Structure 1
Amino acid sequence: MRPVYKTALMVGMLGAAGLGLSACSSTEVEAPMDEGVCYHVGKDATQKGGLRFNVVARDQPQIEFCAARLEEMRLRFLRLGGTNRDMVGAYQGQFIFIDRGGVKFGKTLTGQRFFALTRTGDGRLAIPGAIQREIDGRPIAIAP
């Protein structure tokens, strides 16, 4: 095969691969970018992407506040007899994932997730670095 044809073939294959990747990313559901609005993400076959974004709270200053509102909602559902222990939300272009381990943030529904808040022994949410203990379980004192 001539070098010109090899180059053209290689460029064509790379172009097709690029189109394939862009097609995958264009079908990915994106979180709403509304400033300060916290959403619960629920399944709905009638909506684009099979998801519905329900407003939980407005005027939330940070993503952690949105996570707290979603945790409140999750606990209320459980008290009413619900069985779903996991919840997905969205805030200003990011997804929020709440499960038994804590809270994680991610740019996409299926991509990498950043661990943000962990559960304490009694089930509350806390910043992971805030939970420090000695080997015997006593809290470490913080010097002023």
Structure 2
Amino acid sequence: MKRTSLFLVAGVGLLALGACQNTTKAPFDPGVCYAVEPGKDGAEPTFNVVARDQPQIEFCAARLEEMRLRFLGFGGNRREMIGSYQGQFIFIDRAGVSFGKSLEGARFMALARTGDGRLAIPGAIQQEVEGPGAAPAPQ
């Protein structure tokens, strides 16, 4: 009985490790910004170079947003875009820009959309609403 439970625990551990390794990783080429085209029917995604010599991930996000807006201007209907920069994924959608370590994992909100569609740091939007130098609300 002990041997069976030992094999069961080992099997579950191996399955858990295998599940963790199924995440898609972004290329880590210094300064290179990619547009990511998700693979169809479980195929690997395609990484297309958008810009080189980008100093920060925010610059890459700006290049991807420019590309998204250009495609919309040409009559495209794609409102969401995925990119990558130095091992991180960039997700652009109607809420703003998020970053993540994998396509499938958690995302961190980096830039939010303002009322007119521009991108801004989320804290700056609240400061704009309250006005510069506004005192914090009493608690």
> Shorter-chain TM-score: what band?
0.7 to 0.9
What is the aligned-residue identity percentage?
59
Higher relative contact order by CA 8 Å / sep ≥ 6: 1 or 2? Answer: 2
Aligned position for 2:107: 113
1:84-120 CA distance string (max 9 Å, x none): 1000001111111000000001111111100100011
Distance in 2 (alpha carbons) for counterparts of 1:131 and 1:123:
12
Look up the equivalent residue of 1:118 and give its one-letter code.
Answer: A
Aligned ranges for residues 17-96 of structure 1 at < 5 Å?
17-45=12-40, 49-96=43-90
Q: Aligned to 2:112, what secondary structure does the other structure show?
A: strand
TM-score, normalisation: structure 1: 0.83
Q: Distance in 2 between matches of 1:92 and 1:15?
A: 35
Q: Which secondary structure does the structure 2 equivalent of 1:24 belong to?
A: helix
Q: Is residue 27–residue 49 contact of structure 1 (8 Å, CA) maintained in 2?
A: no
RMSD value, Cα: 2.3
Gaps of 5+ in 1: none
**Structure exhibiting the larger radius of gyration computed from Cα positions:** 1
Structure 2-normalised TM-score?
A: 0.86
Q: Can you give the 5+ residue segments of structure 2 that lack an aligned partner in the other structure?
A: none
Aligned to 2:131: 139
- The number of residue pairs the alignment matches comes to 135
